Amino acid sequence: MDRMLVVVFDNESKAYEGKKALLQLDNEGSISVYAYAVLAKHADGTASVKQGDDAGPLGSLVGTALGSLIGLLGGPAGVAVGAAAGLGAGSAVDIDNARIGDDFIADVTKQLLPTRVAVVAEIEEDWTTPVDTRMEAIGGTVFRRALSDVQHQIHEENVAAMKADLAQMKAEHAKTHAEHKAKLQEKINQLDSKIQAQLQKAKDRRAAAEKEAQAKVQILKAKAEAAKAKVS
């Protein structure tokens, strides 16, 4: 199962130890790490990406669930964190792109206090014991959440509702008196613009998700070939 993983540590040294343990689990075949980053929350409340896997198989974090989560965990400075991680401002603060609930963000934020450091990763794991055992031994607090596509349905319903409103407005426009037509037409144009923006946003998300899924397949193939080469 593909999951978002956040492990919060008391200091940077422990966080790097946790990152090392995570990659060891990947090498052992216990989990698959698609991408990761080490995120530090500073005493003044700002945050920065101390280390990331931007050069890895997923490439830039732009448009990925992990990239969006990093921006969200940055709090008020989320956009700056996103920029440091190679993200655009839009993707940095879009909770829908993160594909997890806002309750997850809230739970992590309560623990990711100033001076603490987190390892943030997108992984595949069949069971939780390997990660929990390693991270808790180092002193990390583990948060995980399965990635969800539920937001796509919500946006489709939202667009459908706006289209229904648009149809109603157009029907009224055809019957209304001349003095009201201009104002109603303005509302129609505004609503139509919102619908087009929502449709484009959904299209961009689908494209990003497809690209990310293809990259994950390539990661898993490369690991399988590497394991096969070791055996032979």
Helices (H) and strands (E) in the chain, counts: 9, 5
Contact in structure between 141 and 8 (CB atoms under 8 Å)? yes
For residues 53 and 159, state if they share a domain. no
C-alpha gyration radius of the chain: 22
21 and 122 both lie in a single domain: yes
pLDDT of residue 148: 61
Q: What is the 3-state secondary structure (H, E, C) of 188-220?
A: HHHHHHHHHHHHHHHHHHHHHHHHHHHHHHHHH
- Shared domain for 56 and 167, answered yes or no, is no
Torsion sign across C-alpha atoms 106, 112, 117, 118: negative
Are the beta carbons of 41 and 58 closer than 8 angstroms? no
Please count the structural domains in the chain. 2
Given a cut of 70, the residues of the chain with pLDDT beneath it are 51-63, 75-99, 148-155, 157-158, 179, 232
Residues 12 and 50: beta-carbon distance below 8 Å: yes
Q: Which of 124, 147, 170 is the last residue of a domain?
A: 147
Considering the domain architecture, whether residues 102 and 59 belong to the same structural domain is answered as: yes
How many Å apart are CA 51 and CA 16, to the nearest integer? 9
Q: Are residues 46 and 136 in the same domain?
A: yes
| 157 shares its domain with 193 | yes
Look at strands 2-9 and 141-146 and give their pairing: antiparallel
Single pTM value for the model: 0.66
- Shared-domain flag, residues 178 and 75: no
38 closest CA partner among 3, 66, 64: 66
Answer yes or no: do 121 and 18 share one domain: yes
Q: Are residues 142 and 181 in the same domain?
A: no
Per-residue CA distances from 161 to 116, 152, 184, 194 (Å): 43, 14, 18, 12
Residues 136 and 185 in one domain: no
- Same domain for 156 and 134: no
Q: Which residues are CB-contacts of 6 (< 8 A; sequence separation ≥ 6)?
A: 69, 73, 108, 112, 118, 119, 120, 121, 142, 143, 144
- Exposure of 196 in the CB half-sphere (CA atoms within 13 A): 6
| Cβ-contact 183, 157 below 8 angstroms | no
pLDDT at 89: 39
The pLDDT, as a whole number, for residue 86 is 47
pLDDT given for residue 195 in this prediction = 85
In the 8-state DSSP scheme, what is residue 74?
T
Are 142 and 159 members of one domain?
Answer: no
Q: What is the pLDDT of residue 191?
A: 85
pLDDT at position 5 is: 93
Is residue 68 within 8 Å of residue 54, measured between CB atoms? no
Which residue among 87, 122, 147 closes a domain?
147
181: domain range? 151-231
**Cα(15)–Cα(159) distance, integer angstroms:** 42
Q: What would the two tokens of residue 74 be?
A: 């940055």
Listed residues 97, 124, 147: the one ending a domain: 147
